[in-house]
Structure 1
Amino acid sequence: MSNSWYNRRQAGSRGLKTLLEAHARLGPIIRLGPQEVSVVSEEGLRKIYAAGLDKSSWYQKTFFLYGVQNLVSTLDHSTHAKNRRIVAGLYNKSYLQRCKNLASLSDHIVCSRLLPRLDFYSLNANTVNVMRLFACIGVDMITGHIFGAAYSTDLLADEAKGGEYIETCASGTEFKENYFEHIYRELLSTRGTQEELRVSPSAAETMYNGLASQRSAGYVADREIFAESASEMLDHIIATQETNTIIWTYICYRLSLHPQLQDRLRLELRTLEPRITNEITNLPSPASLEKLPLLDAIVQETLRLHAANPARMPRVAPTGGMTLHGYDIPAGTIVSTNAYCLHRNPDVFPEPLEWRPERWMPHRPEEKLDGPDLPRMKKWLWAFGSGARNCIGQHFAIQTIKLVVAAIYTTHTTLIVNDEGIEQSDSYNSGPIGGKLILRFEHLKDTPEC
């Protein structure tokens, strides 16, 4: 028995759909090969990820940057836990919501870069390549958080420069390593010279200093600490660029097909204080955005149906083996689950292939209907993984996703354009503010598993 048949399906972009069909037919646990099983269940989530099983060697083959490991590519649980503690506080929800540096950065990127760009597009009836636009926003946001505003990228302000960066990214990891290495080196060269001016260390400095403090003097060369911290920072940049870009794009795509839902969202967004306008310079707080139920439902449903990382997350069965759904799983067996199958369980998410944000909103008491099982849905929502090795940047991602969506849909409406460049709907009510953004979704056909 081998897993060559499944590997061929996976190479042909049918891997996740094949898994979904197999689990629907055979149940929550299936065998993919001599030493690999796939599990899609709450038991699998608990025994594999909440239990903190070590990762498989696939991560080291895929996520090494600058030739060294980072949190994603670290295989054993104890080393990961030790290194994660260094930067975990910088991605904590409460820290992000009250971080003055991030608030100032967000105000500048949205108010001084994004909104003027959107106005230009709407006034000139230019078609927007949304994936490129959102990739630029994502990189500017995360590099500002990691390196500080003075060393962040400015891809959004220069459309040609931003487009060149995004296109060149497709050439591989080496370009991104070279691109950010000089930024990081310049930042570290100023360490200790600007303490009076710095409100708090950047994430990059925190990682560098944290790694250095773990080693005794002379134990490891400075260049090795640089490589380890640079690997970590670049991994955060790549992950944010990809995750935020995909979710922003699909939110716009879905909302462009639902004009009435756009109007409902806009009414909700207009309750924010201060209200987002083209003249605003200070945005509403992240805490106020978090309280908006429709905005949250739209984000959660898009994370469910269009998870940025829908693939298998392989772990290794521990010494002594384990039991899953009554089966004895030998030590060393690869065990995994995936967001794609978890998010399409009809018992948890009725009509799972439909994009329905209302599933995340409890029914009002006067409707006298059984509301959705929100606690169970949240347990099965696996867009950022679960357990001690879940995505460290999930709160940063959700906060920035909501902020940008709020800015766009308070000030503009969106229209989808088909392959012939024809508007799909003319029933939009933009209200007294903003104009129409004509969006091009040409790259969605390249993401078949999403």
Structure 2
Amino acid sequence: MDRLIGGAKFMSDGTKAVLPATTTCIMLLNPLSVAAILGALLVFYLARCYSSPLWRIPGPALSKITSIALRWHEFGANRTLYIHSLHLKYGPVVRIAPKEVSYTSYEAVKEIYGSLGSGYDKHRFYNLFKVFGRRTMFSTLVKGDHAKRKRIIADRYANSNVVKPIALSGIEKRAKSLSGSVLMQQVQVKLHSYACDCVTHHLFHPYGTNSLQKQEDTDMMEQVTTDDSLRNRLIQHHYPVFYQYFSKILDLFFDPRTTPLAKDFVVGATSKIDPAPFTLLSRLQDKRESGSSVNQMDAIDIAAECTDHMVAGIDTTGDSLCFLLWELSQPASLEIQRKLREEIRENPDASFDKLSYLDAVVQEGLRCYPAIPMSLPRVVPPGGKTVDGYFVSEGTIVSSQAYSVHRNNDAVFPNPETFSPERWLSPTGEAERKRHMFAFAHGGRGCVGKHLALAEMKILLRGIYGRYSTVPDPSITPESMRSHDQIISARPYGQRCLLRFVPIANEEAFLARQSLLKSDFGFHPSERCISFNLYPYSSHLPHCVVKTQGGRRGVNATVVSQIILQVWSWGLKITGALATGKSHRVSVGISLEPYSLLALLPWMWITSVEIQFITLRKSLEPAVKA
């Protein structure tokens, strides 16, 4: 007979009974057993988190044990603003995930990205930027490999090469082409076309694109700028094994990165002979033909490098210009436009890099809307490092994002959310401002195309604001223009930016229209305008119609006359009509000499006003040549 001794089962012959495997599995799958195992694993995991050197670093409690919050915002194209909100709450050092820390101080930026940061290699995140399966200068992870490639490339992006007449003429030609065709444009598309044509001119001349005028080049450019592969590439990065086996299924739900037109164009361009000496293609072909085994690049390497530069040049410069023109077109920026126009008019022959206010506008644009606003991840080297007062263990991902570096240092950038070019004109704090500018990153692995991008931006702004004033189209809202993350850059959430370009010949009417829009002219609340409809300019005639309707009783004629007198003082001839009364609407012509209105209608209540600026009373200065 079987016996139980001490809870163990023994057979009649004295041998210990062996439970069948299925019985053992059932016992292990018992809910209590499973809960105990999971609980033990959870306790072990939490103990590891608590004992981590990163535990002391400020941040949300959830971020200390899981990266789920960060992933959620990444997949929602909101990583940049999420991290910025954490810095506003927790300070310049924030733990954003169990093995990831974000910084905003200059000391941290210098440590990670400057000369001291030579040991901080790029994170495998940069594997996403391989082209044709090859690493480019941007996607190299180790500093030594990056330095070798940069030695080949850097001189083509040096300022001395960018400002050569033949190199600069291509940018100036394209700026003139764009600024001559923008009376009513979807400016985001045009700006990316401009950026595309400029960067391909610098890469391949005379084999660059003409996407401002040729549809096939426009199609290629739009394939790059309308890419919607963020989620697909994030899955590829964070879950590589999963992506390896299920990529075909994922591609059905999340668009992959596909730019065949761009790759075909670059392969064709890089196969051409005798590119201009200032171009990158010329440099790469020369190095290939030199036969040096150290710097040897085959045809695929050259095509990959040029593709990477072209795509980066389209996205970053085009997006930054788009956000900057939107900012300059706001009613609050009218005075900035005026100062910029004044400097351009007074210095028609000055080089683009000698205009101080233009430089201030561009610097402030890059501070508020950096070309790459997002984190640039690096890996802490063996042995760990102390960054901004906190020890971080080896293998930890550390980064800074320009968006926050430019906003979380109030002593350097007071009122950081205010667009103020004037901050760059003060000699006080100039060195600190320059140190804290992270728009093109820092150190030897910073943006190699900085000087080219600045030239493109300044030359175009000089061309536009020497000829036009700009206002946003009513269909474009702050919500549609909010920053929307891409894999490393950002674009407007609505993916369009429509601006109206008002010729300088209509400037006085433009300023009158904008001032009327912002002012209530001292109306009593019961008499305040309840509607204010402004009609766009004709592209040929300097006129604008302003309609306003009074309150329940109407607006006193004296108040209306004050409006007309102010318009008159701006140097505009005016005509229009007043509707009076309630049951009987009487039209009253407005004299070109509006003073008569004060004596004629002091007792009347005006129910609506229509004013038309029909012509200018004084001659205007000619528009500056772009």
Question: Could you tell me how far apart the structure 2 residues matched to 1:349 and 1:29 are?
Answer: 18
Match for 2:159: what amino acid? Answer: K
Question: Could you tell me how far apart the structure 2 residues matched to 1:102 and 1:14 are?
Answer: 38
Question: Could you tell me how far apart the structure 2 residues matched to 1:163 and 1:95 are?
Answer: 27
Q: 1:77 to 1:214 in 2, by over 3 A?
A: farther
1:29 equivalent in alignment to 2:93: yes
Q: 1:417 to 1:229 in 2, by over 3 A?
A: same
1:303 equivalent in alignment to 2:366: yes
Match for 1:55: what amino acid? Answer: K
Q: Deviations over 1:359-390 (max 9, x none)?
A: 1111xxxxxxxx64121111111111001100
Alignment of 1:231-310 (within 5 A): 231-257=304-330, 258-274=333-349, 288-310=351-373
Question: Could you tell me how far apart the structure 1 residues matched to 2:263 and 2:209 are?
Answer: 9
Counterpart for residue 374 of structure 1 = 430
1:56 equivalent in alignment to 2:112: no
- Could you tell me which of 74, 95, 100 is aligned with 1:10? 74
Counterpart for residue 84 of structure 1 = 150
1:176 equivalent in alignment to 2:259: yes
Counterpart for residue 301 of structure 2 = 228
Q: Deviations over 1:163-215 (max 9, x none)?
A: 5334333256865354343454455343xxx5xxx662631131243356475
Counterpart for residue 139 of structure 1 = 196
Q: Is the 8 A contact 1:147 1:204 kept in 2?
A: yes
Question: Could you tell me how far apart the structure 2 residues matched to 1:267 and 1:181 are?
Answer: 45
Quote the offset at 1:230 in angstroms.
Answer: 1.4
Q: 1:57 to 1:174 in 2, by over 3 A?
A: closer
Counterpart for residue 368 of structure 1 = none
Match for 2:197: what amino acid? Answer: D
Secondary structure of the residue aligned to 1:141 is: helix
Q: 1:425 to 1:91 in 2, by over 3 A?
A: closer
Secondary structure of the residue aligned to 1:128 is: strand
Alignment of 1:85-164 (within 5 A): 85-97=151-163, 99-111=164-176, 113-118=177-182, 121=183, 127-148=184-205, 150-158=206-214, 160-161=215-216, 163-164=218-219
Match for 2:445: what amino acid? Answer: R
Match for 1:36: what amino acid? Answer: E
Match for 2:307: what amino acid? Answer: L
1:47 equivalent in alignment to 2:130: no
Match for 1:88: what amino acid? Answer: A
Quote the offset at 1:239 in angstroms.
Answer: 1.4
Quote the offset at 1:433 in angstroms.
Answer: 8.8
Q: Is the 8 A contact 1:312 1:338 kept in 2?
A: yes
Counterpart for residue 325 of structure 1 = 388
How much is the aligned-residue C-alpha RMSD, in angstroms?
3.0
Quote the offset at 1:324 in angstroms.
Answer: 1.4
Q: 1:377 to 1:48 in 2, by over 3 A?
A: same
Q: Is the 8 A contact 1:181 1:230 kept in 2?
A: no
Question: Could you tell me how far apart the structure 1 residues matched to 2:258 and 2:389 are?
Answer: 48
Q: 1:71 to 1:211 in 2, by over 3 A?
A: farther
Q: Is the 8 A contact 1:36 1:334 kept in 2?
A: yes
Q: Which moved more, 1:34-43 or 1:336-345?
A: 34-43
- Could you tell me which of 278, 281, 296 is aligned with 1:204? 281
Secondary structure of the residue aligned to 1:13 is: coil
Q: Is the 8 A contact 1:137 1:156 kept in 2?
A: yes
Q: 1:432 to 1:27 in 2, by over 3 A?
A: closer
- Could you tell me which of 443, 446, 455 is aligned with 1:387? 443
Question: Could you tell me how far apart the structure 1 residues matched to 2:420 and 2:150 are?
Answer: 35
Question: Could you tell me how far apart the structure 2 residues matched to 1:302 and 1:165 are?
Answer: 27
In the alignment, structure 2 segments of 5+ residues that lack a partner are 1-64, 230-255, 478-497, 511-535, 538-626
Q: Deviations over 1:329-384 (max 9, x none)?
A: 1111111111111011223211111111111111xxxxxxxx64121111111111
Secondary structure of the residue aligned to 1:309 is: coil
Counterpart for residue 611 of structure 2 = none
Secondary structure of the residue aligned to 2:210 is: coil
TM-score by length of 2: 0.58
Secondary structure of the residue aligned to 2:185 is: strand
Secondary structure of the residue aligned to 2:259 is: helix
Q: 1:295 to 1:56 in 2, by over 3 A?
A: same
- Could you tell me which of 132, 136, 143 is aligned with 1:70? 136
Question: Could you tell me how far apart the structure 2 residues matched to 1:74 and 1:410 are?
Answer: 42
Q: Which moved more, 1:162-171 or 1:88-97?
A: 162-171
Quote the offset at 1:407 in angstroms.
Answer: 0.5
Question: Could you tell me how far apart the structure 1 residues matched to 2:268 and 2:390 are?
Answer: 51
Quote the offset at 1:425 in angstroms.
Answer: 12
Q: Deviations over 1:138-164 (max 9, x none)?
A: 10011011001x201011123x44553
Secondary structure of the residue aligned to 1:388 is: coil
Secondary structure of the residue aligned to 1:38 is: strand
Q: Is the 8 A contact 1:110 1:404 kept in 2?
A: yes
TM-score by length of 1: 0.80
Quote the offset at 1:320 in angstroms.
Answer: 1.6
1:400 equivalent in alignment to 2:456: yes
Secondary structure of the residue aligned to 2:472 is: strand
Secondary structure of the residue aligned to 1:415 is: strand
Question: Could you tell me how far apart the structure 2 residues matched to 1:357 and 1:204 are?
Answer: 37
Runs of 4+ in 1 over 6 A off after TM superposition: 432-438
Quote the offset at 1:95 in angstroms.
Answer: 2.0
Question: Could you tell me how far apart the structure 2 residues matched to 1:386 and 1:213 are?
Answer: 32
How high is the sequence identity, in percent, across the aligned residues? 27
Counterpart for residue 448 of structure 1 = none
Secondary structure of the residue aligned to 2:152 is: helix
- Matched positions, count: 394
Match for 1:108: what amino acid? Answer: K
1:361 equivalent in alignment to 2:425: yes
Q: Is the 8 A contact 2:121 2:378 kept in 1?
A: yes
Q: 1:271 to 1:72 in 2, by over 3 A?
A: same
Q: Deviations over 1:261-312 (max 9, x none)?
A: 21211110123343xxxxxxxxx6xxx2212111111111111111121111
Q: Deviations over 1:379-414 (max 9, x none)?
A: 111111001100000110001110011011111221
Match for 1:57: what amino acid? Answer: R
Question: Could you tell me how far apart the structure 1 residues matched to 2:271 and 2:80 are?
Answer: 42
Q: 1:432 to 1:34 in 2, by over 3 A?
A: closer
Question: Could you tell me how far apart the structure 1 residues matched to 2:261 and 2:220 are?
Answer: 12
Question: Could you tell me how far apart the structure 1 residues matched to 2:150 and 2:370 are?
Answer: 24
Q: Is the 8 A contact 1:43 1:325 kept in 2?
A: yes
